[in-house]
Structure 1
Amino acid sequence: MERFNVLFDNLMCRFKKQLPEYLTYHNASHTRYVLDKAVLISQEERIDADQLDLVKVAALYHDSGFLKGMIEHEQESCEIVKADLTTYDFSEEQTQQICQMIMATKIPQKPQDLLGKIVADADLEYLGTDLFDIGSQRLFDELRHFNAGLTRTEWVKTQIRFLESHQYHTVYCKQFRQPKKLEHLAKLKDELLENS
């Protein structure tokens, strides 16, 4: 998909130039990771090539709204993708589908269909992997930029609440990511007990 490569290169260039340094989590690296996982989960969920094209665009743009700021960044991401796709051969229906997938990543996640489930799960796939601690630390560092008083204990409590409320949506992530996520939750609870 030639147009995807152009969209990818253009957006990564904008991220490099415009995203602030303090975004240690919501950055180009996270976007590339989510894109990679969206492709993996799509293959596991056996969607067709046309659907995969749309999933990839949604995954690529899901956090592009951070170019404008943190508030309602999913909605901002939709505005950015709509503007960018006008010069490419996407139908209005396809653009709407892409926006629906982007909105599926908004917390609490409420995906409307399988494609939304794939992008939502790709966004938080790391919760059920060995990369959880790294991702968690990056997000903690980012949040401390806005709230310097955020303590490790408060962060652990936040993470526990988040992991308890989060659920995966695809068959693949329920089977292969949920068990590890529960291990991380148990470790966080142990840490909280040790430090209380």
Structure 2
Amino acid sequence: MTLIEKTQDFVSKLLKDKLSSEYTYHNLNHTQGVVKAVETLCEKENVSDLDKELLVIAAWFHDTGYTKDAENHEVHSAVIATSFLIEKKVATDSITQIVALIKATEKKYVPQNELEKIIKDADYYHLFGSDYLFSCEGLRKEWQNTENKTFTDKEWALLNFDFMVNVHQFYTEYAIANWQPLKDKNCIALQQKINAKADKSITKEKKAKKIKTEKTEKPEKSERGIDTVFRVTLGNHTRLSGIADSKANILLSVNAIIISIALSTIIPKLDNPKYVHLMIPTLIMIVSSVTTIIFAILSTRPKVTKGIFTRQDIEEKKVNLLFFGNFYKMPLQEYQWAMNEMMKDKEYIYNTMIKDLYFLGVVLERKYRLLRVAYNFFMFGIVITVLSFIIAFKMIGN
């Protein structure tokens, strides 16, 4: 077996057995591709057989360092190659040249001679290949596996485009003349991919903006609906309170008139024995009217609270600032501060409105309950009074 064949067997076995499966780009397939590219360039650049042997061996070994560590893998590759070549009794000068060629594949290294240019160009053979985009995905997956680097499709395309346009260059005459045009085609394909991603991104942004607008409009519509509910309910409560007050005023007026008539016309005559039979009916009428007036007054009598609050009450959201009875004794500045604090918190505002409606409802219930009692007293009082007057007059008639 020739030295190249022995090298091929050794490296192939090493990469198959020792290289982690996480290396989806820098693997045996990549190494074989570099070797093939080296052979092509050696032929086209008229390299001697001895130099070709050195280049091919260096190509086989250039990424074996990944079996040790990705960082400074060129150094590890050189160590592995040196150990193998010493074992095979290769001349020291040749080993030195092979090691130099391996180290020339370092990403930022600028080749200094023709052989270094050849291996440098060969190492990037994938840039002009028809499967360039597929090869890039292998490198992308490898970086994700080994370095925890993740990229969006657009970021990855931009990164590769920048490398191809602004970083990488071919050095050999053959590569410049024949591989560069193919690389340029891949650049165009990459640019088209970037543009497609950009268009797609714009479309997504428009859709996202539309969805966001719709979502924004929905809460606004929902909030308007809530405001309408509060406004209508508050209006209903206010109207019901006004109706209750009107009913109470009717009772007060009617019963005040009844009492006035009784005091001015009937009661003065009760001293006369002739009208003694009217005493009980008159008493019933007066009692029912007074009782009705009392309950009517109770239904409309306002209840005023202490009218003060503390800052702690505001911070704990305990105070209903929409009801005058909770703030009428407070200084204007304190009330303004409290209202501003409440308006900063939507939940506090809605809870305050809910409390306001609730306690208005409680007040309304009390009003209508007392009014019902007042109307009952008035109704039954009138009926009993009329009946008692009828009975009294019948007794006199008999």
TM-score w.r.t. the length of structure 2 is 0.48
Partner of 1:159: 160
Partner of 1:192: 194
Q: Which moved more, 1:20-29 or 1:147-156?
A: 147-156
Q: Which amino acid letter does the alignment assign opposite residue 189 of structure 1?
A: Q
Q: Which amino acid letter does the alignment assign opposite residue 167 of structure 1?
A: Q
User: Are positions 1:35 and 2:32 aligned together?
Assistant: no
Q: Report how many residues are paired.
A: 196
Partner of 2:111: 111
The answer as to whether partners of 2:62 and 2:105 remain within 8 angstroms in 1 is yes
Partner of 1:19: 19
User: Following superposition, which runs of at least 4 residues in structure 1 exceed 3 angstroms of deviation?
Assistant: none
Report how far residue 3 of structure 1 moved. Answer: 2.0
Give CA deviations for 1:71-98 in whole Å, capped at 9, x if unaligned. Answer: 0111111111111110123222211111
Higher helix share: 2
Q: How far apart, CA to CA, are the structure 1 residues paired with 2:39 and 2:185?
A: 25
The alignment partner of 1:195 has SS state of helix
The alignment partner of 1:86 has SS state of helix
Q: Which moved more, 1:90-99 or 1:167-176?
A: 90-99
Q: Which moved more, 1:52-61 or 1:127-136?
A: 127-136
Q: How far apart, CA to CA, are the structure 1 residues paired with 2:19 and 2:173?
A: 34
Q: Which amino acid letter does the alignment assign opposite residue 163 of structure 2?
A: F
Report how far residue 189 of structure 1 moved. Answer: 2.1
User: Are positions 1:178 and 2:177 aligned together?
Assistant: no
Q: How far apart, CA to CA, are the structure 1 residues paired with 2:23 and 2:151?
A: 16
Partner of 1:92: 92
Report how far residue 148 of structure 1 moved. Answer: 5.4
The answer as to whether partners of 1:55 and 1:115 remain within 8 angstroms in 2 is yes
Report how far residue 6 of structure 1 moved. Answer: 1.4
Where structure 1 has 5 or more consecutive residues not aligned to the other structure, the ranges are none
User: Are positions 1:127 and 2:127 aligned together?
Assistant: yes
Q: How far apart, CA to CA, are the structure 1 residues paired with 2:77 and 2:186?
A: 30
Structural mapping, 1:45-124, within 5 Å: 45-124=45-124
Q: Which moved more, 1:179-188 or 1:39-48?
A: 179-188
The alignment partner of 1:25 has SS state of coil
Q: How far apart, CA to CA, are the structure 2 residues paired with 1:29 and 1:162?
A: 22
**RMSD value over aligned CA atoms?**
1.4
Q: 1:24 to 1:82 in 2, by over 3 A?
A: same
The alignment partner of 2:87 has SS state of coil
Identify the structure with bigger relative contact order (alpha carbons < 8 Å, sequence gap 6+).
Answer: 1
The alignment partner of 1:112 has SS state of coil
* Rg larger for: 2
The alignment partner of 2:90 has SS state of coil
Q: Which amino acid letter does the alignment assign opposite residue 149 of structure 1?
A: T
The alignment partner of 1:194 has SS state of helix
